[in-house]
Structure 1
Amino acid sequence: MSHLKSWTQEDIDYLEAHFGKCHVSKIANHLERTEIAVIGKARRLGLTMLTAGGYITLHELSKFLEVNNRTIKRWFEAGLKYRQKAILSKSYYFIDVGEFWSWAKNHKQLIDFSRMERGVLIPEPSWLDEAYKNSQKAAIKRHHVIWRPVEDQFLLSSLKKGDAYETIASALERSVRAVKARYRKLVSEGVAERKRYRLPWTQIEIDMLMDMDKQRLPDKEIAEELGREIHDIRYRRKRLREKGIHNFRKRKSS
């Protein structure tokens, strides 16, 4: 393989279509280049959200499974393995696709497979088809279940206590989307008052906030990565500063 081989548009198109979806060695063999050359070119093109070797970022995993970032972080606490890597001066949280499927096999009750984008987290396990069908049936069943007054009361009281939507949804055996929609409906009907409920922070979230602050990422990007509101990010930073845990201060220009 030649280190001086010029990149054609056809080469770039192939790289953009396959980088992160298959191993670097396969791409390198097809393009007749070294693996280092492939990775270097991918980074220069900004292809950093999916990495070679079967890893996916926390944000991308949440996107493909249609859950928020907080859900993924709670899976970390439930045993899902992750790695933290620095790419182009930024820090990302990565999950090995194979390890995700191994973990998911034993935690099917936590995942709504019917909402995931198929054919992305490859190779998909043989048991996924059945799990996908079961999730579809459960979703259809939940869609037609009428909310009872006792469930409404449980929803509102749980929010006041600071319980996360995922926790409430699990207790009610409904989807997070359904729980949020029900709360909005109760607010619109005047049954509940619109409030900003502060959900409890996990240690992983706090560590991620402090790490991203060190990188001087904007609050908007931090909020997106953590799946929280900007005001929640600023409030938590203030509380950490008051406790002497985190001395970082945002520059006025940011």
Structure 2
Amino acid sequence: MGSAKNWTKKEIEYLNENWGKFTLAYISIRLKRTMIGIVIKAKRMGFGASSRADEYITARQVATLLAVDGHTVERWIKKHDLKTTRKVLLFKTRFYLVKLPDLCRWLENNQDRFDSRRIELYSLGHEPPWLKMKRIKDKKLAKNRFKIWD
């Protein structure tokens, strides 16, 4: 068995910049290192799954937060300009990440696309004035509005 070669500063910078942007296989090819070696180095550097919990929430979490179907959020991303970042996990799993301020801005500009009655109080971290007004308006709507058809 040979000893592992030391990581250069350039390789560490590359890994830091591209962890989560590209697949593990792609990073492995670019760095000419094994996938196992890259995973070990990433863990030692403190990288977990490639999403950053403090900055982003996943599109699935947005769907849960707003009590809508995941496909609805995907449609908002593709057709209604919900700003996201696309990330890749270790191998090929790809997913969308949304910054909370971007989500709040989008919700404010697209109030007709969601029902505020389904959102728990303070689930966005704070209650902006526009959301308080939307809650008042949505209370007056028919109970079956925004309801999923059977």
TM-score, length basis structure 2: 0.59
Cα distance in 1 for residues equivalent to 2:126 and 2:50: 18
Determine the structure 1 residue equivalent to 2:146.
175
- Counterpart residue type for residue 116 of structure 2: F
Shift of 1:87: 3.2
User: Cα gap change, 1:94/1:130 in structure 2, threshold over 3 Å: closer, same or farther?
Assistant: same
Contact 1:49 1:57 in 2 (8 A): no
1:128 is aligned to 2:131:
yes
Cα distance in 1 for residues equivalent to 2:57 and 2:125: 11
Between 1 and 2, higher relative CO (CA 8 Å, sep ≥ 6) is seen in 2
Shift of 1:121: 2.3
Shift of 1:95: 0.9
Cα distance in 2 for residues equivalent to 1:49 and 1:118: 29
Determine the structure 2 residue equivalent to 1:79.
81
Determine the structure 2 residue equivalent to 1:57.
58
User: Cα gap change, 1:136/1:88 in structure 2, threshold over 3 Å: closer, same or farther?
Assistant: farther
User: Cα gap change, 1:128/1:49 in structure 2, threshold over 3 Å: closer, same or farther?
Assistant: farther
Computing the radius of gyration from Cα coordinates, the structure with the larger value is: 1
Determine the structure 2 residue equivalent to 1:3.
none
Unaligned 5+ segments in structure 2 are 1-41
Shift of 1:74: 1.7
TM-score, length basis structure 1: 0.37
- Which structure shows the bigger proportion of residues in helix conformation? 1
- Counterpart residue type for residue 67 of structure 1: V
Contact 1:49 1:56 in 2 (8 A): no
Contact 1:49 1:60 in 2 (8 A): no
Cα distance in 2 for residues equivalent to 1:49 and 1:121: 22
Report SS of the residue matched to 1:134: helix
Cα distance in 2 for residues equivalent to 1:50 and 1:132: 31
User: Cα gap change, 1:83/1:113 in structure 2, threshold over 3 Å: closer, same or farther?
Assistant: same
Report SS of the residue matched to 2:140: helix
Shift of 1:49: 9.7
1:114 is aligned to 2:117:
yes
Report SS of the residue matched to 1:63: helix
Report SS of the residue matched to 1:120: coil
Contact 2:84 2:96 in 1 (8 A): yes
1:40 is aligned to 2:46:
yes
Determine the structure 2 residue equivalent to 1:102.
105
Cα distance in 1 for residues equivalent to 2:115 and 2:83: 19
User: Cα gap change, 1:110/1:53 in structure 2, threshold over 3 Å: closer, same or farther?
Assistant: same
Determine the structure 1 residue equivalent to 2:13.
none
Cα distance in 1 for residues equivalent to 2:70 and 2:117: 18
Shift of 1:65: 0.7
